[in-house]
Amino acid sequence: RKNTPSLPKTVTTHFFPAYPWDKSSLKSMPVDLQQLEKLDAYALKVNVKNSVEELVKVLLKQARTDLEKVRAIWMWICHHIEYDVVGYHNKSQLSSKPRDVLQMGKSICEGYAELFEHMCSLAGIQCKKLSGHAKGHGYKTGQTFTGDSDHAWNAVYLEGRWHLLDSTWGSGSVDDSFTKFTQRYNEFYFLTHPALFINNHFPDNSNWQLLKPTLTLKEFENNMLHNSNFYTLGMLAVHPDTPIIPTVNGKASVSVDCRPGTLFMFKLKGTDEQGLMTLKKNGMELDIYPQQTGSHKLEIFAKPSKAEASDDVYKCVVEYVVECESVDAAARFPKDLHQPVGPSWFSQRHGFLRPSHQEPVLHTNDGRCCLTFTLGKDISVLTSLHTDGSSLDEDMGRHHVLQTHRRNQVELKVHLPHAGNFVLKIYSKKKSDPGNYDYIFNYLIRCLNTEVKWPAFPKRYSKWLQDYEILEPLSGLLPANRNVQFKLKMHGIAKVLVQAENTYPLTQNKDCWEGTCNTSGCREVFVMVHENANHSFYSHVLRYEVEAQ
């Protein structure tokens, strides 16, 4: 074994950060990345391939402090040395001597670390090459580490203490088959906080964890792997923090704590159909109900909701293995259910305030439910109801939800056509926007009562205004040969008629129009309004069907 560098005697113990991570900084010393932008840009442009000495000389022209010297070297290596996937499979041909690495422009971790160490020594900076085990490429959840170390990285001495960095991982990543390297700079591995670095780097000499207390190899193996995305996207903790989760009665639960304003998605065996995810102000909660027994991979993805990030894609922040012993078949979700479920800061941001129902799932015994929201300014709402099977086409799905506006409140009445699992989807747009409605959020509505069989609400035409209200009859299907009482709240009109076989006028009583109509001899009934007493023109506002004789 190579002799492992010993810690210099000058290091005093009170410098060591404690484990676990205190959630403060991702780095082991303050680094102002904006201040380093000029230097970074300079280092990237340096193009010297003939000698390491010459390269360091040119790089250091713009660097004054030790931190800046290390930064220039780090930036150059991360952007100019590629990982040698061919050499990795054929190590006998490989030289990790700094001069050869520079000339080839590629290497494996050993070469990155030796080049880094050599360049630092030329710059007058103390630097060590460290070796150990890494949870890097090809790592499987829960695996053990035996035998020789498999990775190399560096420690540098800055401002009176040691700091860790990994230029191999800073430069990019290798695909699963280990045949292709993708150059993608990763800031996370520059001067990483030791309590985070230990997450996937275990040095042969435990002193180089730079932690008090140090972790054992067993602890390292059992700890949950958090990749750099986990920290750079602002994740703080996950529960459970063990990588393998057994289901209890067919269900497994996971939650994530993070910075506010983070969006999430998940995949269990590649789909998000077997779970129920809710967004929380500082994270998310997820209940998983696998529909097959066995071991399943669960991936959780995150992205910031602020759109200014150009690479605004979901990135995997944590992976679990869910071990399912029994299936809860009752927890099958409709395929139209969209994750996350229920109201959240996201729906609030889109103008749906003070929801009457905070939970993602609504249980109803009689097949009816009523939700209310306070609406932000200038918001127009659209809803639809969905279920598996063909019982509700898109048009019918609309007519089983009745929307009523009272000043800045919207009320959604839902009458289910039968028992089962339904999805209530809610869309919105600015009233002033001519464009389409955007999907915002949805609820799961469950009804077990097989007696339930509500007809649709009456069909509303475009002249039926948002703040009109149907008090009765609410059912869009009227009984045959009956006198039916009508009571409608409408404003700004001169006259209201109900047209069945005969025509029946309604009379105005304060803001209500009331009256009776007889349904004999007709299959449909229309409500019509006269907007202006001087016009003879009537507009249809509502349509009811009449039961067959």
**Residue 484 exposed, middle or buried by CB count within 10 Å (0-12, 13-18, 19+):** buried
Other residues' Cβ atoms within 10 Å of the Cβ of residue 37: 10
Supply the DSSP string of 34-89, one letter for each residue.
Answer: TTTHHHHHHHHH----S-HHHHHHHHGGG--SHHHHHHHHHHHHHHH-EE-HHHHH
Edge to edge, what strands does the sheet with 283-288 contain?
Answer: 235-239, 252-258, 283-288, 275-280
Token pair in block for residue 404: 């009523």
Question: CA distances (Å), 107 to each of 1, 88, 155, in order?
Answer: 21, 8, 19
Question: CA distances (Å), 489 to each of 398, 404, 462, 472, 548, in order?
Answer: 21, 11, 16, 10, 29
Token pair in block for residue 393: 């086409």
Q: Is residue 183 within 8 Å of 80, Cβ to Cβ?
A: no
Which stretch of DSSP H or E encloses residue 478? strand 477-478
Please count the CA atoms within 13 angstroms of the CA of 100 that sit on its side-chain side: 12
Give the angle 372-377-382 at the CA atoms, nearest 5°.
Answer: 50
Q: Is residue 378 within 8 Å of 430, Cβ to Cβ?
A: yes
Q: CA 467, 468, 472, 477: dihedral to nearest 10 degrees?
A: -100
Q: How far apart are CA 424 and CA 401, in angstroms?
A: 9
Round to the nearest angstrom and report the end-to-end CA distance of the chain.
Answer: 95
User: Hey, which residues are catalytic here?
Assistant: 109, 151, 166
**Mapping DSSP to helix (H, G, I), strand (E, B) and coil, where does residue 194 land?**
helix
| Residue 18 bridge partners (DSSP) | 212
- For tokens 């129009």, the residue is 513
**Mapping DSSP to helix (H, G, I), strand (E, B) and coil, where does residue 541 land?**
strand
Q: How far apart are CA 24 and CA 102, in angstroms?
A: 37
Q: How far apart are CA 379 and CA 31, in angstroms?
A: 44
**Mapping DSSP to helix (H, G, I), strand (E, B) and coil, where does residue 39 land?**
helix
Q: How far apart are CA 5 and CA 386, in angstroms?
A: 65
